[in-house]
Structure 1
């Protein structure tokens, strides 16, 4: 083969190589992040409110006319101090039909009373006769003219008549009281405010937290009048999802922000209330929530009162010097989790233990070394051994 032919073959091979190189697909580009070591913290962020520990609601003991309260929210009161006054309500008037029916009931009860009085007179005569028969039998028995059996019969008869007399007396007493009650129903009711003024007293010493009624007017029995408590004895209450509340460690720590002052306040978990409730979220989703109560780590600052809003950050999980990766690198696999590791331009699937995660970081249990390159947001088409081109090493 001459030199000219060799040159043509070489040129053809070179051209073919260039065509193959041009047609060869480039590896897809993927975003990456490195496995680092640091501190991991997982927190729950929720709205919270202050609440007085011991709250007492003073209610109306009877229905009537409430006198205009003189107390205002924040006023101090002492134990047994008068905090409200109520005039008892007047009885309602009867219409003409009800009055006629009541008169008929009074007439019927008068007849019943007369019948029971006649029964009482008859029972009294029968008891006197039985007593005389017993005395006669006992006298004749001492002379031997009457047997002991006859004397026992006379004694039992006398006891029976005495019981009948007692029952007749009770029937007369009951009929008398019923007649009096029916006659009271026919009497003209007194005007409102003519009865004795009822004074409602404070059960504890404290301050007025809330006035449910701040003006004069009719009030029903059991209606709330005001709330009492000590504003210096505050606790923090927040509503958590039941699954988050169940995962809280004992004495969980929390910080309070946006409370109206400078700096953060500290608190710790006191208790999780046992009863959960259903609450509809802003997106219209029904959630099962439960109230968690926190105590102050330090003394609460001045200026806070009952029902003040703030933001609470509850530390659920915390670790130092652990392997951390962006949460976007971890994906579910079978019964666990895995990541894609970039090695020599290719990816390798590596199973990992997800020990914790927050909004940005995932705490991994793995044998991978610190600084390993992981694929973030791995596409669904990525497979073991695929070639990739890291965009961010």
Structure 2
């Protein structure tokens, strides 16, 4: 009985000691740190720059009064279509300037200059037509050889680009010819008015102001009638179907953009449009943000490449959100950028391992501010702490919220 009583006493005190040690351990040990865990996942990712821009008609033409005189009221409205040679308004010239001999001599000289410019433009049209015909023939010849695999795909693409460029140059040359013809007509009109005043014929005193191009009225600078000086703007015309997008980006971001960069256009009220950067202006300018911060910005011009039917409701001066895609990938391993921090000069994260935080180095790639590409150090599905703080250390117990 004494031996049994002694054994029972030791069992009691042993169990009591274990409970005391356990209570002390539970009391002194630190509580787990509550954290947000997120898995490393695979998926698409892109690095982009988003800025606000606006549309602009590519070719704008300011129609001015050819002579000083009395301008008649412009009856057209903004948006009305116009055709080359269409009457926009009329000007009654000032009689005193019409009878001046020196003005008449200057008008004759302008007619000669305009005639020479028109001849030069016609020669450029002829040269452009020859180039366009040659480029089209070369493209057809290479297309005929495509099935035989005698030419490379790059060579065929170069021929297609040369054909498109030749056609564009031809259209530009023909357009310049139309402008030169209009200028010649305006110079002749002024000379004819002078001759009419000398002979006493007042029937042709009124000078017609006509549209030089095919398009629409973009702005009416002077709608009401009244005295106007020679060269003073009357209205502005252009083709609203030929739009470009102008975006003012920070100079820090502009150095990352080059011609050909893909652009997504959103926020204009329609579907997402595709565009490409055509030109990055070489000169910046200073702008003041809404918060009063002085910024250096650069204008970037982009061409819309989506079908016209998708953006036919867009007009001149419309607001758009332009996203410049600097880099994109369809399938990469990524984690939130907020989970990465610098430790001893290298990128690290806290990885969750059986309820404890493990300091894990990793090799990172591209980052768009929200997500960062992981090249090495983590696997798909590994849980990392989204927002590590100073409470976390190697081996610290963690608990997910």
Q: TM-score, normalised by structure 2?
A: 0.62
Structure 1 residue 325 displacement after superposition: 0.4
Partner-residue secondary structure (3-state), 1:209: strand
Match of 2:27 among 22, 36, 43: 22
Structure 1 residue 51 displacement after superposition: 1.2
Say whether the 8 Å CA contact 2:32–2:399 is kept in structure 1: no
Partner-residue secondary structure (3-state), 2:22: helix
Say whether the 8 Å CA contact 2:258–2:279 is kept in structure 1: no
Say whether the 8 Å CA contact 2:351–2:383 is kept in structure 1: yes
Say whether the 8 Å CA contact 1:30–1:388 is kept in structure 2: no
Match of 2:274 among 266, 276, 280: 266
1:229 corresponding residue in structure 2? 238
Partner-residue secondary structure (3-state), 1:25: coil
Match of 2:356 among 332, 346, 360: 346
**Within 5 Å, which residues of 2 pair with 1:312-331?**
312-331=322-341
Q: Deviations over 1:205-237 (max 9, x none)?
A: 432211011112344665432111111211222
Q: Deviations over 1:5-42 (max 9, x none)?
A: 52335424532432332332223222211111221123
1:355 corresponding residue in structure 2? 365
Q: Deviations over 1:172-221 (max 9, x none)?
A: xxxxxxxxxxxxxxxxxxxxxxxx76654544343221101111234466
- Structure 2 gap ranges (5+): 97-204
Partner-residue secondary structure (3-state), 2:240: coil
Partner-residue secondary structure (3-state), 1:210: strand
Q: TM-score, normalised by structure 1?
A: 0.63
1:206 corresponding residue in structure 2? 215
**Within 5 Å, which residues of 2 pair with 1:100-249?**
200-219=209-228, 223-248=232-257
| Aligned residue pairs, count | 287
Segment of structure 1 superposing worse, 284-293 or 318-327: 284-293
2:266 corresponding residue in structure 1? 257
Match of 2:62 among 42, 57, 79: 57
2:200 corresponding residue in structure 1? none
Say whether the 8 Å CA contact 2:55–2:315 is kept in structure 1: yes
C-alpha RMSD of matched pairs (Å)? 3.1
Say whether the 8 Å CA contact 1:249–1:316 is kept in structure 2: no
2:151 corresponding residue in structure 1? none
Say whether the 8 Å CA contact 1:66–1:218 is kept in structure 2: yes
Partner-residue secondary structure (3-state), 1:369: coil
Q: Deviations over 1:70-119 (max 9, x none)?
A: 3322334444555444556799xxxxxxxxxxxxxxxxxxxxxxxxxxxx
Structure 1 residue 290 displacement after superposition: 1.6
Aligned: 1:372 with 2:382: yes
Q: Deviations over 1:55-77 (max 9, x none)?
A: 11224566665332233223344
Aligned: 1:276 with 2:281: no
Using a 3 Å threshold, how does the CA distance of structure 1 residues 351 and 221 change in structure 2: closer, same or farther? farther
Say whether the 8 Å CA contact 1:80–1:201 is kept in structure 2: yes
**Within 5 Å, which residues of 2 pair with 1:381-392?**
381-383=391-393, 385-391=394-400
Q: What is the alpha-carbon distance in structure 1 between the residues aligned to residue 346 and residue 15 of structure 2?
A: 55
Q: What is the alpha-carbon distance in structure 1 between the residues aligned to residue 91 and residue 383 of structure 2?
A: 78
- Structure 1 gap ranges (5+): 92-195
2:74 corresponding residue in structure 1? 69
Q: What is the alpha-carbon distance in structure 1 between the residues aligned to residue 359 and residue 365 of structure 2?
A: 18
Aligned: 1:8 with 2:13: yes
Match of 1:289 among 297, 321, 346: 297
Using a 3 Å threshold, how does the CA distance of structure 1 residues 20 and 264 change in structure 2: closer, same or farther? closer
Using a 3 Å threshold, how does the CA distance of structure 1 residues 215 and 387 change in structure 2: closer, same or farther? same
Using a 3 Å threshold, how does the CA distance of structure 1 residues 377 and 52 change in structure 2: closer, same or farther? same
Structure 1 residue 374 displacement after superposition: 0.9
Structure 1 residue 350 displacement after superposition: 3.1
Q: What is the alpha-carbon distance in structure 1 between the residues aligned to residue 390 and residue 29 of structure 2?
A: 23
Q: What is the alpha-carbon distance in structure 1 between the residues aligned to residue 14 and residue 252 of structure 2?
A: 74
Q: What is the alpha-carbon distance in structure 1 between the residues aligned to residue 82 and residue 396 of structure 2?
A: 79
Q: What is the alpha-carbon distance in structure 1 between the residues aligned to residue 342 and residue 231 of structure 2?
A: 58
Partner-residue secondary structure (3-state), 1:251: coil
Q: What is the alpha-carbon distance in structure 2 between the residues aligned to residue 3 and residue 300 of structure 1?
A: 96
Say whether the 8 Å CA contact 1:277–1:290 is kept in structure 2: yes
